[in-house]
Structure 1
């Protein structure tokens, strides 16, 4: 990984590290750096709690379950840092009410094998067994139940990370837009900013740092355009995703947070393989689906990575009618306990790499944390530690994880790319 190069964080600069982008990952990096005693400035172009990116809202799924052992190990590493963050902040961010992955047997095989290798406890149920446990939900042929899983509160997580970063000495600035990043002759970086705060008058200035961490989500490609070494940046596809909250027909179904988070794995060939020749197709969907109970708002249900490609600065936040109709049809078929006719659409962005693996790397003084492809929130505090290592010149180490699989080099000519992530 490029980040093995030694970095100076005490040179003649305004501050050792600047983090650009105050969503979940940037806030986690600022927290990790500040608690190590590294003077850090976090810059966010919008205000606190904004809804323009990918880190807002009441919930995201937290899980350890992946078909890739490296991702399971990375999630286990992150879980330990979730505990540290909750203890430091006094905030309950995780709700561990479980997660179910369901689908045809073949589609779940890799997941089960990875959980076994990593020692993650789980149950293996049939669809009817799961339906008996969670009335109002319908399940596919096989169900994998993880207890160390559930959901995480997104808004409270970002707020807690920023508050703890500030408590450890970080400077957290909102309404500061970065217009460009240059590599300086002394090996550091120059960050061009416009202060767009309500009383700032649009002051333009330059900030100098030994290292810059770029965690700008949907704005990443534009932010790094022209920065030396990032000409190998792969296509980062920005889509506007539109899950929705659906109201419960009977709130008693989720009393005590009874319904777990859920991921429906879709594999047409595996579904066909599992069906007898004269059996009905069972109404199996064409797109993978996920969701969780959100107290006070209903149950969030969404298709994974099916939204239209957008410009993050001009998207309209409106649900595309055809995709919303598909989501309602799915809920009608698979959730008897929800009202499919009363959705409350949600809008967020995905920034997706070609293999749906993250980008975690360093080139010169610039660190990139991007391409979280709609499944990154589980890893937030762990990713913060990795980015902090890169920013301070350390080679990141996560037990059992080959972090080179997340490096830019996998997209260079002749590189052997890792297998795409099954999310």
Structure 2
């Protein structure tokens, strides 16, 4: 909807489009917010890049749908997320979530708490001893007893983002790719956005603006929202050719000898990506980068270490037949998300490498904030910093 001249804001007589809710960033979280808002508010989703781009954190064919959380807020969101993933599949006719289970092993004292929290929420989990686990899943070498979560699994990231946008459009939301938001200025209870497209520059006035731009959060919002320190890294999981055919469980390995100045840089996560191999990666230890100046070149030291890990802990793969990929993490100081509102700006940021599984639940929280319905859980609040 286009209004008349919007004077008094330094824009002269330029015509300004008006919308109830503008969403900046069309990755997983922004697309989920659009899906939740469509039909409830006049919604416009603005994405800087073209569909299927590789610049952010939402691309690729696989993400673990890991349910091994002990915090009741996260567990509750997992229950909601599973329901909403299935609803999205039904609405779009797209297969997104494969529940083949995930095995969690290594000396993690949090496994007991996760097992108890999952039981309380009705999510099945069971401890399996190391010998039985080796027989059931011979592609993985296990360390100690294993927490197996059979309803965990794998999400198809690229399909999920496309399905969310398609479902949002079916309910009336507008989606525009190739639209870069270069400025957001809160003006009273609303916000004015400056948008660059191949056709030129335009302004947009929104009652609420949802910002879900991942690695670009600080660039866009510094000076307008009191942000925590958000660290942007380039991560580099790898796909290994499997020696053992068929479906694998996802896996999380909590390595005893991991961390700064230890043999391994971090714990390891992984999963089967059909058609690409067995994915394995370090968690949150890639080099700090500027998202507009990424090399997209994997760090050779981390590459060598993940191959060493595969030789030692993944007997079911060929550690020398490997294809590496890169993506970004945007990490908060405590590794917990930011989902909050300041004035007209609703923020979803800092998903710290473990947010994708929660995508539709995060979208619902962002929509509630944009519609002034309910605050997000306190653990996600900006003022905790």
Task: Please tell me the TM-score bracket, short chain as reference.
Answer: over 0.9
1:151-162 counterparts in 2 under 5 A?
A: 151-162=154-165
The equivalent residue for 2:197 is 195
Give the drift of 1:268. 4.8
The equivalent residue for 2:313 is 334
Question: Following the alignment from structure 1 to structure 2, what is the Cα–Cα distance between the partners of residues 29 and 166?
Answer: 12
Q: TM-score, normalised by structure 2?
A: 0.92
The equivalent residue for 1:291 is 270
Higher strand share: 2
Question: Following the alignment from structure 2 to structure 1, what is the Cα–Cα distance between the partners of residues 57 and 43?
Answer: 23
Give the drift of 1:74. 1.3
Gaps of 5+ in 1: 1-11, 270-282, 398-402, 412-423
Kept in 2, the 8 Å contact 1:61–1:261? The answer is yes
Kept in 2, the 8 Å contact 1:130–1:143? The answer is yes
Question: Following the alignment from structure 1 to structure 2, what is the Cα–Cα distance between the partners of residues 120 and 107?
Answer: 16
> After the TM superposition, which of the residue ranges 284-293 and 354-363 deviates more from structure 2?
284-293
The equivalent residue for 1:8 is none
Question: Following the alignment from structure 2 to structure 1, what is the Cα–Cα distance between the partners of residues 268 and 186?
Answer: 42
Kept in 1, the 8 Å contact 2:23–2:44? The answer is yes
The equivalent residue for 1:236 is 230
The equivalent residue for 2:350 is 371
The equivalent residue for 1:346 is 325
The equivalent residue for 2:204 is 207
Query: Structure 1 residues 195, 145: closer, same or farther in 2, change over 3 A?
Result: same
Selected match of 1:37 from 40, 50, 57 = 40
Question: Following the alignment from structure 1 to structure 2, what is the Cα–Cα distance between the partners of residues 383 and 106?
Answer: 27
Give the drift of 1:286. 5.0
The equivalent residue for 1:247 is 241
Give the drift of 1:114. 2.0
Question: Following the alignment from structure 2 to structure 1, what is the Cα–Cα distance between the partners of residues 17 and 372?
Answer: 16
Question: Following the alignment from structure 1 to structure 2, what is the Cα–Cα distance between the partners of residues 265 and 76?
Answer: 24
Give the drift of 1:250. 3.7
Query: Structure 1 residues 76, 27: closer, same or farther in 2, change over 3 A?
Result: same
Kept in 1, the 8 Å contact 2:265–2:282? The answer is no
Gaps of 5+ in 2: 1-15
The equivalent residue for 1:414 is none
Structure 1 stretches of at least 4 aligned residues deviating more than 4 Å after TM superposition = 283-286
> Structure 1 residue 410 and structure 2 residue 384: aligned?
yes
Give the drift of 1:107. 4.7
Selected match of 1:21 from 25, 34, 39 = 25
Give the drift of 1:71. 1.1
Query: Structure 1 residues 404, 105: closer, same or farther in 2, change over 3 A?
Result: closer
Question: Following the alignment from structure 1 to structure 2, what is the Cα–Cα distance between the partners of residues 149 and 113?
Answer: 16
Give the drift of 1:147. 1.0
Question: Following the alignment from structure 2 to structure 1, what is the Cα–Cα distance between the partners of residues 29 and 181?
Answer: 17
